[in-house]
Structure 1
Amino acid sequence: MRLPKRLLLTAAVGAVAARRVLRAPYDLTGRAALVTGGSRGLGLALARELLDRGANVTLMARTAADLDRARARLNAGTRVQVVVGDVTSEADLDRAVQETVRAHGALDVVVSNAGVIQTGPLNDMTEDDFRRIMEVNAFAALRLTRAAQAQLRARRGRVLIVSSVGGKVAVPHLGPYSVSKFASAGLGQALRSELAREGITVTTVLPGLMRTGSARQAEVKGQQDREYALFATLDNVPVLSLDAAVAARRIVGALVRGEAEAMIGGPAALLRYAQALAPELVADVMALGNRFLPGPAGRKDAVKGAEVETQVTRANPLKRRAEAQWNQSGERDLS
């Protein structure tokens, strides 16, 4: 006997609701978390949210000065530990795990947040661009999980992988980034199913645009001035982009609930559902949108977004506030 589709849908929704009600949230009080890319941007916002929920935090990043500023902004004393290291180095990740345990007595949560973003036409991207971004955005999350696996198994800990809506829908001029985020989303699914038997819960989050001030850190190719102006503008439109603190709250909420995957931000969710329901239409819209973007420049060099700032992009008050608040520019916190 075939069951009505409405009954199946109702049962599925009920199962999801029951799971949320019956599964106790993960209490972060007194837990120890290691956050990669934690010195600025979303990583710093996640660290602040984790601290607010009672966790102790270790921040890992490549630059000591950025880490020192981040620790001062968090102003949480010995609850914040910093480790200078590169997420593409297995030895540095092992050391970060050991330093977290030394400082906080345990390791309960790892947050794979460190990432690179490149923007520009596909014809100006090289194969090396794809390989480099994969190392940071995908393989680093795998290495960190493996480095921490024994500690997490002993503590029935949690893994948070920060992917992107670009890991579900490839966006023009973000080719290498989308490829790496598709990989990180797939990694999250694989780890979720295989580490569950060890008592480790893996959550993958897929945010859309967020006001983290990170545009100035992007690697820009092609017609660099025009590419950056477009990217920095879209990254700071209130309706399209989400406030970093709000995004961090939702992301940590997904971790606490033990969700498998979570879309962060309304536009991200709409884009994913559109892709699921009408993939051909989304593909056509993306192809059409690409026609309005700056064309290739015929050169392979890249610059940081901060190097091609203009008076227009610099004057955006939301952008400047996010940069100052989340340690992107060295300015004081304007919040």
Structure 2
Amino acid sequence: MRIPKRLLLAAAVTAIATRRQFKSRYDLTGKSVLITGGSRGLGLVLAAEFLKRGARVMLMARDAAELERAADQLAAGGRVHTVTGDVTREEDLHRALAEVQRVFGGLDVLVNNAGLIQGGPLDNMTEANFREIMEVNTFAPLRLTRLALPELRRSGGRVLLVSSVGGQVAIPHLAPYSVSKFALTGLGQALRAELAQDGVGVTTVCPTVMRTGSPRQATVKGQYRKEYGLFATVDNFPLISLDTEVAAKRMVDALVRGDAEAPIGGAALLLRHAQALAPQLTADLLALSTRLLPTATANDQGLPGREAESFLTRHNPIKSEAEEDFNQLGGGASERT
């Protein structure tokens, strides 16, 4: 008797779902975690979440002073260490992994969080902008993950890739960012498929905008103040953006469960389903929304967000609180979360 294909498919889906329900969760107690971009914003909050669950954390970032403030803020004694380095420099990646090995004796969880964001019209974006952001957002996680693989295979470890809703739906005026995050989401899928046989779990999270205080670290192009004002407002608007602690908890939950991919926040979930169910309508709506955004200028120079502040953005209490809480006010290395 021939079994219908649809019945076989339904049985396979049911088996996978059942297996997931009974699969043991990854215990973070005593595990060693390396977090890139860990000195501020989401990276800092992720560190706090891992510490709550009993892990030990190594923070990597480019600015030593910011790292010191972050470690003091986390106040977890010997469970927090720092290493200064740039994720685009392979020698710094080697050094960070060596430091994790020296301090913790091995690596269990790698969190690729460091990221770059640029906002502005496509006409003001150069090819160099695309190449720069790909180096930070895509190739750096690829390099670091590959370098860490021997240790992750030994420990049966986990990899967390912090992508974005912009890595599932292209967001107007964030073209280089979306391209890099689409590539990162694809990288996560490829790593997940190939590393499962080695006992290494890979989770890619795609959050909506979060109240991390990071707009001041972004680069804006075109009509600087308008672009920054829009970005900083959306990023700190409660009905649209997500509380950072809530986002971090959901991301670590996804890692612990062993999820392949997880949208974080209602807006991310809505856009993901809209893109899957009605791609043409979604594309048309995004194209229409672009007409409401600031137009391009003749100047292709970028400006750090903190230099494009206006009275309204400077005195936004939600934004100011996030900047203060998440170590965004230092004068060190900029433009990366």
Q: Under TM normalisation by the shorter chain, which class is it?
A: over 0.9
Overall identity of the aligned pairs, in %: 61
8 Å contact from structure 1 (residues 45, 245) kept in 2: yes
Map 1:44-63 to 2 at 5 A: 44-63=44-63
Work out the CA distance in 2 between the residues paired with 1:321 and 1:68. 20
8 Å contact from structure 1 (residues 324, 330) kept in 2: no
Q: Which residue of 1 aligns with 2:133?
A: 133
Give the deviation of 1:14 after TM superposition.
Answer: 4.0
Q: Which residue of 2 aligns with 1:113?
A: 113
8 Å contact from structure 1 (residues 163, 181) kept in 2: yes
Work out the CA distance in 1 between the residues paired with 2:201 and 2:91. 24
Work out the CA distance in 2 between the residues paired with 1:199 and 1:2. 33
The secondary structure found in structure 1 opposite 2:115 is coil
Work out the CA distance in 2 between the residues paired with 1:164 and 1:143. 19
Distance 1:16 1:228, change over 3 A: farther
The answer to whether the aligner puts 1:182 opposite 2:189 as a matched pair is: no
Work out the CA distance in 2 between the residues paired with 1:245 and 1:75. 17
The secondary structure found in structure 2 opposite 1:263 is strand
Q: What 5-or-longer segments of structure 1 have no aligned partner?
A: none
Q: Which runs of 4+ in 1 moved over 2 A?
A: 1-5, 7-17
Work out the CA distance in 2 between the residues paired with 1:96 and 1:330. 22
| Cα deviation code 1:90-113 (max 9, x no counterpart) | 110111011011111110000000
Give the deviation of 1:146 after TM superposition.
Answer: 1.0
Give the deviation of 1:169 after TM superposition.
Answer: 0.4
Q: Which residue of 2 aligns with 1:162?
A: 162
Q: Which residue of 1 aligns with 2:205?
A: 205
Map 1:180-329 to 2 at 5 A: 180-329=180-329
The answer to whether the aligner puts 1:152 opposite 2:152 as a matched pair is: yes
The secondary structure found in structure 1 opposite 2:58 is strand
Distance 1:4 1:207, change over 3 A: same
Distance 1:9 1:319, change over 3 A: farther
Distance 1:84 1:150, change over 3 A: same
Give the deviation of 1:4 after TM superposition.
Answer: 10
Give the deviation of 1:17 after TM superposition.
Answer: 4.0
Work out the CA distance in 2 between the residues paired with 1:194 and 1:138. 18
1:201 is matched by which residue type in structure 2?
G
2:159 is matched by which residue type in structure 1?
V
Q: Which residue of 1 aligns with 2:334?
A: none
8 Å contact from structure 1 (residues 163, 205) kept in 2: yes
The secondary structure found in structure 1 opposite 2:88 is coil
The TM-score, its normalising length taken from structure 2, stands at 0.95
Q: How many residues align?
A: 330
Give the deviation of 1:201 after TM superposition.
Answer: 0.7
Work out the CA distance in 2 between the residues paired with 1:12 and 1:239. 38
The TM-score, its normalising length taken from structure 1, stands at 0.95
Work out the CA distance in 1 between the residues paired with 2:8 and 2:220. 47
Work out the CA distance in 1 between the residues paired with 2:8 and 2:104. 47
Moved more, 222-231 or 100-109: 100-109
RMSD: 1.7
The secondary structure found in structure 2 opposite 1:211 is coil
| Cα deviation code 1:139-179 (max 9, x no counterpart) | 01101101111110100001110001101100100000000
Q: What 5-or-longer segments of structure 2 have no aligned partner?
A: 332-337
Map 1:9-20 to 2 at 5 A: 14-15=14-15, 17-20=17-20
Give the deviation of 1:20 after TM superposition.
Answer: 2.9
Bigger relative CO (Cα 8 Å, ≥ 6 apart): 2
Map 1:93-108 to 2 at 5 A: 93-108=93-108
Work out the CA distance in 2 between the residues paired with 1:119 and 1:136. 16
Moved more, 321-330 or 22-31: 321-330
Work out the CA distance in 1 between the residues paired with 2:46 and 2:97. 18
Work out the CA distance in 2 between the residues paired with 1:14 and 1:70. 44
Give the deviation of 1:212 after TM superposition.
Answer: 0.4
Give the deviation of 1:16 after TM superposition.
Answer: 5.2
Work out the CA distance in 2 between the residues paired with 1:76 and 1:216. 28
1:168 is matched by which residue type in structure 2?
Q
Work out the CA distance in 1 between the residues paired with 2:46 and 2:22. 26
Give the deviation of 1:330 after TM superposition.
Answer: 4.2
